[in-house]
Structures are given as structure tokens and as C-alpha cells.
Amino acid sequence: MSNVALPIALLQIGTKSGPISGSISSMLLDADPITKAVLVLLTGLSLMSWGIMFSKWRAFRVAEVNGRAFERDFERARGIDEAVAMSQRAKPSAFTAVLDRAVRFLAATRPALGATTDRTARLSGSQVEALRLVLDAESGKESETLGQFIPWLATVGSVSPLIGLFGTVLGVISAFTGIAEKGSGNIGVVAPGIAIALTSTAAALAVAIPAAFAYNMFAARLNRFDNALEGFGSELIALMVSEGRI
């Protein structure tokens, strides 16, 4: 069963031979409002985290596939103009965006070192440093866009167990309050409340574990993607050097 549906399923699954009061669903329906609110909140967090996971998985897949395809073409480029022509034929990606930003910078920047009989006009050291900063900024922007909402997975992974523990503690308090009111410590009085309390913890773990796992996985992929963009910026400057622009 999917972890997404577990908090809901805990409200629906019944036991054929429940020793206490029939099914789990009937016990949950009789639970106090706070326990129900905790389970509803956990269900919402689960749906949100799985939505982010599927969305980010697709976004990373598209970004990595398109990026690798353009990088393979870029390695064959002999100059910036040829690289630009390749980017216009390629599918949009963070790498084509970085190249486009570099081209716009070159178009708006007048070379500080004028052309001579020995060489063409070139950018000065300070202009190259400015270009490096521009490329880093564009790379950071693309990485930030790709990594949007990933921190929410970490939040869900860390907060859900605390929410579940909160529901469990309140459930145990409610169970012992029921014992005090009925004046009996019979298992039939204690067990339903304890079972409902533990359900909150189980539901919280079912929400937190996938979210924490997905956060670590996407954070690692985002770090590799950011390094790839940084390396592409260096290759772009190296191509300008070999072409005589720098």
C-alpha cells in the first residue's frame, strides 16, 4: 500500500476479529477531535510531500536529459557562434540559459583591449571576472528554480514525527482519563485509546520516512547539477579563450 494513503487507510481498514470494539475505523471515528485533526493534518502533509516528490522527479529528469544532450553537442563546438547555433536547435535547459546569458553579456560589453595586427579585440581581466560572476549568478538562478520546494520535504520529514508524537501523547492522556472516569483498568477500557494513540505515531512515520529519504536524494542531485553548471561556465570561458575573445 502506498505511504500516501496510509493515514487515510488507517481510518478505513477494519479487523475481522477485533478483540475490543470491532474495527480500527470505528475506534478512530470515536476518537477525540484532536486525534482526528492530527491524522487529517498528517494526511495533508503526506499528499503535499508526494506531490513535490513526483514534480521534482520529473523536473530533474527533464533538466538532466536535456542538459546532457546539449553538453555533448557543446563539446564539438569550435566557437561561441557555433555553440549558439547548437543551443537554438537544442531543447531548452539550464545550460542553454547560461550560454544565452554569456552571449548577452558579450553583446553588451565593449572589449577593453582593442584589436591589433596580432590579435582581435579581447576582454580585460576585470571584464572576464565580471563574466564569471554573471555566469555564476545565472547558474545559481537555474539551480534555485530546480530546487524550489525541496526544503519542504525536509520540513515534513522533521515535523511529522513531532506531530504524531503530539497526537500519541494526547491519545494516551485521553485513554487514562477514560479509565479514571469509568473507574476500571480493564483492558477493554484501556486498549482502544492506546491503539488510537499509537496510530498517530505510525501515520507520522509513514509520512516522515519517504519525505526525508526524498529530500536527501534530491539535495544530492541538485548539488551534482549545480557542479555541472559551474563546470559548464568554466568550459564556456575556456572556449572564448581558445577563440581569442579573452
What mean pLDDT comes out for the span 158-181? 83
What mean pLDDT comes out for the span 176-188? 67
pLDDT of res. 30: 67
What mean pLDDT comes out for the span 50-59? 96
Closest CA to 207 of 148, 171, 150, 163: 163
pLDDT of res. 152: 96
The pTM for the full model equals 0.79
Q: pLDDT tens digit string along 76-104?
A: 888 888 999 999 999 999 999 999 999 99
Comparing 57 with 122, which gets the higher pLDDT? Answer: 57
Closest CA to 204 of 2, 13, 3: 3
Comparing 224 with 79, which gets the higher pLDDT? Answer: 224
What mean pLDDT comes out for the span 125-152? 91
- Looking up cell 551534482 gives 224
Answer yes or no: are the C-beta atoms of 90 and 66 closer than 8 Å: yes
pLDDT of res. 115: 59
Which CB contacts under 8 angstroms, 24+ apart, belong to 88-96? Answer: 90/66, 91/66, 92/66, 93/63, 93/66, 93/67, 94/63, 94/67, 94/139, 94/142, 94/143, 94/146, 94/225, 94/229, 95/66, 95/67, 95/70, 95/71, 95/229, 95/232, 96/70
What mean pLDDT comes out for the span 167-190? 72
Q: Which three cell numbers stand for residue 180?
A: 479514571
Comparing 143 with 181, which gets the higher pLDDT? Answer: 143
What mean pLDDT comes out for the span 169-189? 71
The answer, yes or no, to whether residue 197 has pLDDT greater than 90, is: no
Answer yes or no: are the C-beta atoms of 229 and 139 closer than 8 Å: yes
Comparing 44 with 25, which gets the higher pLDDT? Answer: 44
Answer yes or no: are the C-beta atoms of 10 and 31 closer than 8 Å: no
3-state secondary structure of 82: helix
Whole-number average pLDDT of the chain? 82
